[in-house]
Amino acid sequence: MDPKEKARRKLEKAMRQPVNDVVLEVQKGTIDINDLFKKIDEKVREAQDGKARS
């Protein structure tokens, strides 16, 4: 991300005012690399199938 855009976003965030603010509890997103490789394989196969059909 462009550093200027990042700074702009951070400034905008800092200027907000809370109203009965609720703080969420977000669960960490962990990606299993093995699943990732399987997904890449699936996407490659889908792309190849698409090319074969066209």
Partner 1 sequence: MGKLVASAVLDAALQYLEDNVDWIAVCEGAPTTYEHAHSNKGTGAGKVLAHSVTPTFTGPAAGDGGGTSRKTTVDQEPTITVDITGDADHVALVKTGTTVLLYVTTCTLQTLTAANTVTIPAWDIEIGSPT
For residues 50 and 20, give the distance between their C-alpha atoms in angstroms, rounded to a whole number: 51
For residues 41 and 31, give the distance between their C-alpha atoms in angstroms, rounded to a whole number: 16
Minimum distance of partner 1 from residue 4's CB (angstroms): 12
Phi–psi pair at 45, nearest 5 degrees: -60, -40
Comparing CB distances to partner 1, the nearer of 15 and 52 is 15
- What tokens appear for 6 in the block? 């990042």
Minimum distance of partner 1 from residue 47's CB (angstroms): 16
Minimum distance of partner 1 from residue 34's CB (angstroms): 6
Comparing CB distances to partner 1, the nearer of 19 and 52 is 19
